[in-house]
């Protein structure tokens, strides 16, 4: 079965510091996509970053970057220079290639302290 595991229910970081959120997934597929979504208190899920499994280069979006380890089936999110507005639930998600499925983890609540 394809599953996504986020082992950290909660994380905290000081403003301007760096934090890494962990995500592992289980799949027998070789082609797939991985995503990190952010859900602030407004509840709207917002795409933070995505990674195509066939790309070896780690995706980056401004202060957000991933460490994609395909063999280890690991997909962690690094947030640099954390800001108060980064406080939210973060969900890791996996999508097999050419399907409608988007399989989510249970999320990590990130708190940012001034």
Partner 1 sequence: ETGVTQTPRHLVMGMTNKKSLKCEQHLGHNAMYWYKQSAKKPLELMFVYSLEERVENNSVPSRFSPECPNSSHLFLHLHTLQPEDSALYLCASSQGRGALGNTIYFGEGSWLTVV
Other CB atoms within a 10 A radius of the CB of residue 79 amount to 23
Interface pattern 7-46 for partner 1 (x via CB under 8 A) = --------------------------x-x-x----xxxxx
Round to the nearest angstrom and report the end-to-end CA distance of the chain.
41
DSSP 59: P
Decide: is 100 part of the binding site for partner 1 (CB under 8 A): yes
CB of 106 to partner 1, least distance (A): 5
Query: Binding to partner 1 (CB under 8 A): which residues in 53-82?
Result: none
Largest alpha-carbon pair distance within the chain? 43
Closest to partner 1 by CB, 35 or 75: 35
């Amino acid at each position: 079965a394809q599953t996504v595991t986020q082992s950290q229910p909660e994380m905290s970081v000081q403003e301007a510091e760096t934090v890494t959120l962990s995500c592992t997934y289980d799949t027998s597929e070789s082609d797939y996509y991985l995503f990190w979504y952010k859900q602030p208190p407004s509840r709207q899920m917002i795409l933070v970053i995505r990674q195509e499994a066939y790309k070896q280069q780690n995706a980056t979006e401004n202060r957000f970057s991933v460490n994609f380890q395909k063999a280890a089936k690991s997909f962690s999110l690094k947030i640099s220079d954390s800001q108060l507005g980064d406080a939210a639930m973060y969900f890791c998600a996996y999508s097999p290639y050419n399907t409608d499925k988007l399989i989510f983890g249970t999320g990590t609540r990130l708190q940012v302290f001034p």
